[in-house]
Amino acid sequence: MKILLKKGRILDPSSGLDFVGDLLIEDGNIRGVERDIELSEKNITMLDCQGKLIFPGLVDMHVHLREPGEEWKEDIESGTRAALYGGVLRVACMPNTKPVNDSPEVTSYILKRAKEKAWVTVYPISAITKGQEGKELSEFGRLKKAGAIAVSDDGKWVANSALMKRALLYAKNFDLPVISHCEDPFLSFKGQINEGKISAKLGLKGIPSSAETIAVIRDLLLAKETETSVHLAHLSVKENIPFLKWAKEEGIPFTAETCPHYFTLTEKEVEGYNTLAKVNPPLRTEEDIYAIKNALKEGYIEVIASDHAPHSPLEKEVEFELASFGMLGLQFLLPLSFNLVREGVLSELKLLEYMITNPSKILRVTPPSFKEGALAEVIVFDPEEEWKVTEEIIQSKSKNTPLLGKTLKGKVKMIILQKTIYRADT
């Protein structure tokens, strides 16, 4: 069974390929990429890709699938369907489920459910500490054996520095990546939105940038001391950047991530007490957006992930202070990130590096690629097509995004996953 994609712009960050040509898939595997593949056989599915980009599936290392325990918001089936439509063919899911994924039993359960009903590959991330309580380390060796790809207390920072240091050393033994949610809980206590003029105007308690940067600095120091890499999740403020630069110059092992909302939306979105724009870390300012883009350009931040965080009306259609933090991300990841290419911040290949090869390297998995023999994980993307964000288009169970009603540019048209062709067009 052969599928031939014709005349698209082929981009593969694993091999640096960037040219207009054809891609051949045979029996679910990549057979070849060339300027022109002519086949005389009859039994071929031909897909015209003129004007489209063809690249490997994205790897999103920061996703909340909510299963087990909060399936009214999302589950592994609906979350991975949203991923598929977003061009994301592998997701790493955070452990703040109910119960918390801090045991081999929960990790295996997630993998079992993924096997039964996931549309894309699911990599479970287990908790650093039991119950994500920041008191006692979970059992990294047993978690890894059960299939944990990394550890994180995402949603919370491991505020006890001695414990975090031990976590880094312990994780190193098992070659498990450690992902840190950088937020000093004392500084952000009861905070709702970015601390500044808007928080003052709205009468909401602010989350200062120092809550994030203090955590970043501590984690970098611990990474240096333990000679163990730390991955800094969803960075949002400009104050981090000089420290990231310093850490790169010092040769400190670390990687850093941001999310499309931190280089697209500002704190102004929460005016009118819009809970759909309530997220943690909070949306910041134009200056922060400028600095985050610059950090991406300089390579101080080298991963873009969605932090897809579904919540239902039960958690969002409430008073601002009572609303949960988080917004959807999977189906907006590509169109919003592509603005970086349009603005000249990153080239197409660099952007794909940040969304395919870099996260794969951090998670120690072979990235999706167009190397001969690789599994077919292929996205056909139209960078020019505009589409409106509606509840109907959203594949997640939850619809919580401040982008509802807005028009985005760049649309996933087709997904080829092994032998199946999905048309995301309709």
Positions that interact with ligand DOR (CB under 6 A)? 64, 96, 154-155, 181, 279-280, 309, 324-326
- Secondary structure class of 25 (helix, strand, coil): strand
* Least Cβ distance, residue 410 to ligand DOR (angstroms): 24
Question: Would you say 231 is a known binding-site residue?
Answer: no
DSSP annotation of 180? E
* Least Cβ distance, residue 112 to Zn ion (angstroms): 25
Q: Which is nearer to Zn ion, 12 or 212 (CB)?
A: 212
Interacting partner of 279 out of Zn ion, ligand DOR, none (Cβ under 5 to 8 A depending on kind): ligand DOR
154 contributes a contact to Zn ion by CB under 5 A: yes
- Residues with Cβ within 8 Å of 406's Cβ and at least 6 positions away in sequence, in order, are 388, 389
Tokens, residue 317: 């259609």
Q: Which is nearer to ligand DOR, 56 or 326 (CB)?
A: 326
Known catalytic membership, residue 307: yes
φ, ψ for residue 7 (rounded to 5)?
A: 60, 35
* Least Cβ distance, residue 61 to Zn ion (angstroms): 12
DSSP annotation of 223? H
Q: Which residue is nearest to ligand DOR (CB)?
A: 326
Among 174, 139, 147, smallest CA distance to 92 is for 147
181 contributes a contact to Zn ion by CB under 5 A: yes
Distance of CA 248 to the CA centre of its chain: 22
Identify the active-site residue in 36, 307, 382, 425: 307
CA–CA distance, 395 with 380 (Å, rounded to integer) = 19
CA–CA distance, 107 with 95 (Å, rounded to integer) = 9
Other CB atoms within a 10 A radius of the CB of residue 366 amount to: 12
Question: Would you say 308 is a known binding-site residue?
Answer: no
Q: Which is nearer to Zn ion, 92 or 349 (CB)?
A: 92
* Least Cβ distance, residue 299 to Zn ion (angstroms): 22
Question: Would you say 326 is a known binding-site residue?
Answer: yes
Alpha helices (H) in 252-380, listed in sequence order: 286-298, 313-316, 333-342, 348-352, 358-362
Q: Which is nearer to Zn ion, 188 or 199 (CB)?
A: 188
DSSP annotation of 195? S
Question: Would you say 181 is a known binding-site residue?
Answer: yes
* Least Cβ distance, residue 307 to Zn ion (angstroms): 6
Q: DSSP string covering 281-293, please? A: SPPB-HHHHHHHH
Which residues does the annotation place in the binding site for Zn(2+)?
A: 62, 64, 154, 181, 234, 307
Q: Which residues make up the interface to Zn ion (CB under 5 A)?
A: 154, 181
Which residues does the annotation place in the binding site?
A: 62, 64-66, 96, 154, 181, 234, 280, 307, 311, 325-326
Which residues does the annotation place in the binding site for substrate?
A: 64-66, 96, 280, 311, 325-326
Catalytic annotation, residues? 307
